[in-house]
Amino acid sequence: MKNSKKTNPDLSDAKQRDLDVNRSNAENQFLTTDQGLKINDNNNSLKAGERGPSLLEDFILREKITNFDHERIPERIVHARGSAAHGHFELYKTMEKYTKAGFLNDIKIKTPVFVRFSTVAGSRGSTDLARDVRGFAVKFYTQEGNFDLVGNNVPVFFIQDAMKFPDLIHAVKPEPHHEMPQAASAHDTFWDFISLMPETMHMIMWVMSDRALPRSLRMMEGFGVHTFRFINDKNESHFVKFHWKPKLGTHAVAWDEAQKISGKNSDFHRQDLWEAIESGNFPEWELGVQIIPEADEHKFDFDLLDPTKLVPEDLVPVTIVGKMVLNKNPDNFFAETEQVAFHPGHIVPGIDFSNDPLLQGRLFSYTDTQLSRLGSPNFHEIPINRTVAPMHNNQRDGHMRQEIAVGRVSYHPNSLGNGCPFQAKIDEGGFASFNERIDAHKVRARSESFSDHFSQAKLFYNSQTQVEQDHIANALSFELGKVETPAIRERMLGLLSFVDSALTATVAKALGIKVPVDIQKPINHGVGADDEGKQEPTDKKQSIESSDALSMLKNATISNTIATRQIAFLCAEGVNAASVKTMKQALKNAGAKAIIIAPHLGTIVSEEGLEIPVDQSYRIASSVLFDGVFIPGGKGIIALKDLKEVREFINDSYNHCKFIAAEAQGIKVLEDKIEKVKKDSGIITSESVGDKSLSVSFIKALGRHRFWEREKML
């Protein structure tokens, strides 16, 4: 169901009008200059004679070249590589007990949204499959103004104070003397910084986990990261944490697979999101909140204002309050995905900030960034950034001003304009910051309650299955194996020893060095005026030691749908058509898609004499781009035993723990490549052709996503 060019019925009329106002449709139109002058010759510059010099008066050439020269704006310093989509948010139940935000009170409203997903460290041209945090930014076009929930797919962050953000990004970016490596944290400067900043250890556990390698942007969670406030009509405050829960479940790829995907299709996530929306398989997330009464601010084993800490769902359950659906791709990548300007300071009445020092710094940084990238304080007038709420103020002029303000008055108070625009009272929807009592000295310091850097790192690691813990150890071994400075490796082993001794020993063995003895508490750089680490890191025992909500595999059964999954059918001339048809129909009924792969494009002829269209050839297909493999029956299938591309395809599928199904002659092909077929319960077989029970078992297995137990057999 193609729909990207259609008007989106879920956008409010006002927002659709703003998106349409500068939309260009050149169908059946004359070519013109930017001023509307029809162009007679777009192929030749104006010259003094056919072979003479070009003339300065050629205003058409100058306009065309000038526009081309200025097509690129500075890319984002972080989150440069992004993908985005339009959609809407709808509320399940009113939240008026906690917040007066209109879009969280009226279940009849469908609030338009624009969502941008991104990697953090890489440039615009980097791969989608880098090991990295993923940005998850949502712009709500509410009737009270724009609300931007600018978060990540990880609920915590590396650092506690925005003062350290430039240092973090400078460390993770390519090293400045040779601009390498691109979109990777596996290098000395990053781990040098991390090894000297113990507050990063919780986030490091998340980034070294499979959360940093999502199977799809549609299959990852989102978090607001910071603690915010809800304010209700009675001016009562509750702390709130925001969560996005994907309806397709949370899934990842293997690290070796991620590296190969980067080589086969560096746009893997971008293409996956685009094609899902184009085909009508609209991605969905549910919005959940953790609500904490103001009186309970200090009852936890951690500080709610510390962005390196999460609130375990075992202590405060996530309440699902609404659903977000993405149902329209952008019409123009630059105009929308690249020019969209998010800001955590874009809030509406009923939502307010906490004193999280990282959040406080972001409130300054984002405006400054948009001024640099988009060149003007008028970035809010770009159609993708415009609010659907009425906009009236006394701000004027500046670069690229689009609003034509009428009248003689541009100041407040005034009498010549009858006092307009008026200030709004609180009961008229006017925003007022929460009246929080503050009584303190001006200091450059951190609260003692921020000094626990290891307990939640332990909590996360302890919450993982053995498979997930093994992946964390492997990731650390890979990353630190790329570090060339021995002292950095040793410092990291020292930090890891405060998380888990077995993890430390595994990484140390991979690095070929011993775990340091008599490990001292690491210096906590940056918490005091003299930078001598006067505030020693603590290791506070938590009230819970493990939380199933933090493990992807423990939650895999929550959403075992295989909708939108891509299954490779390894075929050849002489394949059994009934075998292909039975499995293909079963997968289609389950929402998955069968991709027919054969030695050549066009069609192949089955053993029954029927023509079967081919989607991809073995020359261009790769197992890392699929979620599972089926080898059908048929006399001609035996020929696949002699194709090296098929051997590589099957071996990679097996090594990446994917479920594989085969029937009749397809089993022989599989056994020729894999010796452990009969011992591996991740491989489903049937001697019969067109066996419906095989498709039932295969679809059930695919719902588990991967057969990770196979790693112990490899």
Residue 135 near residue 116, CB atoms below 8 Å: yes
Q: Which of 533, 344, 541 is nearest to 446 (CA)?
A: 533
Calculate mean pLDDT across residues 138-167. Answer: 96
**166 burial class (0-12, 13-18, 19+ CB within 10 angstroms)?**
exposed
Kindly list the catalytic residues.
79, 152
Residue 626 near residue 654, CB atoms below 8 Å: no
The predicted-structure confidence for 382-422, as pLDDT tens digits, reads as follows 999 999 998 898 889 988 888 888 999 998 998 999 989 98
R_g of the chain computed on alpha carbons:
28
Calculate the average pLDDT of the chain: 92
pLDDT band at residue 333 using 50, 70 and 90 as cut-offs: very high
Sheet (strand 616-617) strand order: 616-617, 593-598, 566-570, 628-631, 659-663, 683-686
Q: What percentage of the chain has pLDDT greater than the value 70?
A: 94
Query: Reduced to 3 states, what is the DSSP secondary structure of residue 4?
Result: coil
- What is the reported pLDDT for 5? 42
Task: Report how far Cα 72 is from the mean position of its chain's Cα atoms.
Answer: 24
Q: What is the DSSP letter of 180?
A: B
C-alpha torsion 156→160→163→165, nearest 10: -30
- Ramachandran bin of 276, using left for φ above 0, alpha for ψ from -120 to 50, beta for the remaining angles: alpha
In sequence order, what are the residues at sequence separation of 6 or more whose Cβ sits closer than 8 angstroms to the Cβ of residue 26? Answer: none
CA distance 440 to 447: 12
**Dihedral sign of CA atoms 695, 701, 706, 712 in order:** negative
- What is the reported pLDDT for 2? 40
- What is the reported pLDDT for 677? 79
CA distance 393 to 395: 6
CA distance 98 to 231: 6
pLDDT band at residue 520 using 50, 70 and 90 as cut-offs: low
DSSP 618-629: TTT--GGG-SEE
Calculate mean pLDDT across residues 419-442. Answer: 88
The predicted-structure confidence for 453-468, as pLDDT tens digits, reads as follows 999 999 999 999 999 9
CA distance 480 to 488: 9
Q: Which of 89, 643, 244 is nearest to 651 (CA)?
A: 643
Which pair of tokens denotes residue 307?
């962005």
Q: Where are the alpha helices (DSSP H) in 255-395?
A: 255-264, 268-278, 357-374
Ordered domains of the chain (ranges, CATH): 562-712 (3.40.50.880)
- Across 54-68, 136-150, 292-306, least confident range: 54-68
Q: Which of 447, 424, 459 is nearest to 309 (CA)?
A: 459
Task: Report how far Cα 536 is from the mean position of its chain's Cα atoms.
Answer: 34
pLDDT at residue 542 is higher than 50:
yes
C-alpha torsion 369→375→377→381, nearest 10: -110
pLDDT at residue 533 is higher than 50:
no
Q: Between these two residues, 59 and 283, which has the higher pLDDT value?
A: 283
The predicted-structure confidence for 360-373, as pLDDT tens digits, reads as follows 999 988 988 899 99
- What is the reported pLDDT for 364? 87
Residue 606 near residue 539, CB atoms below 8 Å: no
Max CA pair span of the chain: 91
Calculate mean pLDDT across residues 508-522. Answer: 84
- What is the reported pLDDT for 35? 87
Question: How many residues are given for the chain?
Answer: 714
DSSP 198-237: GGGHHHHHHHTSGGGSBS-GGG--EE--S-EEEE-TT--E
Amino acid at 667: I
CA distance 14 to 11: 8
pLDDT band at residue 357 using 50, 70 and 90 as cut-offs: very high
In sequence order, what are the residues at sequence separation of 6 or more whose Cβ sits closer than 8 angstroms to the Cβ of residue 404? Answer: none
pLDDT at residue 713 is higher than 60:
yes
The predicted-structure confidence for 404-415, as pLDDT tens digits, reads as follows 889 999 989 989
Query: Reduced to 3 states, what is the DSSP secondary structure of residue 524?
Result: coil
Calculate mean pLDDT across residues 695-713. Answer: 94
**34 burial class (0-12, 13-18, 19+ CB within 10 angstroms)?**
exposed
From residue 143, alpha-carbon distances to 21, 389, 681, 685 in Å are 19, 5, 54, 56
CA distance 30 to 670: 60
CA distance 464 to 438: 40
Query: Reduced to 3 states, what is the DSSP secondary structure of residue 163?
Result: helix
CA distance 607 to 577: 7
From residue 411, alpha-carbon distances to 378, 394, 423 in Å are 18, 6, 12
Query: Reduced to 3 states, what is the DSSP secondary structure of residue 134?
Result: strand
Buried b (16+ CB within 10 A) or exposed e, 408-436: eeeeeeeeeeeeeeeeeeeeeeeeeeeee
The predicted-structure confidence for 460-505, as pLDDT tens digits, reads as follows 999 999 999 999 999 999 999 999 999 999 999 999 999 999 999 9
Residues linked to residue 266 through DSSP beta bridges, in sequence order: none
The CA-based angle 20-38-23, given to 5 degrees, is 10
In sequence order, what are the residues at sequence separation of 6 or more whose Cβ sits closer than 8 angstroms to the Cβ of residue 451? Answer: 524, 527, 535, 536, 537, 538
In sequence order, what are the residues at sequence separation of 6 or more whose Cβ sits closer than 8 angstroms to the Cβ of residue 682? Answer: 657, 658, 659, 660, 701, 707, 709, 710
pLDDT at residue 643 is higher than 50:
yes
First-to-last CA distance in the chain? Answer: 42
pLDDT at residue 7 is higher than 60:
no
pLDDT at residue 263 is higher than 60:
yes
**456 burial class (0-12, 13-18, 19+ CB within 10 angstroms)?**
buried
CA distance 318 to 300: 16
Q: Between these two residues, 571 and 560, which has the higher pLDDT value?
A: 571
pLDDT band at residue 280 using 50, 70 and 90 as cut-offs: very high
H/E run at residue 105: none
- What is the reported pLDDT for 14? 63
The label of the residue with tokens 């048929």 reads 634
Residue 525 near residue 438, CB atoms below 8 Å: no
Q: Where are the alpha helices (DSSP H) in 226-311?
A: 255-264, 268-278
Q: From the CB of residue 580, how many other CB atoms can be counted at a distance below 10 Å?
A: 24
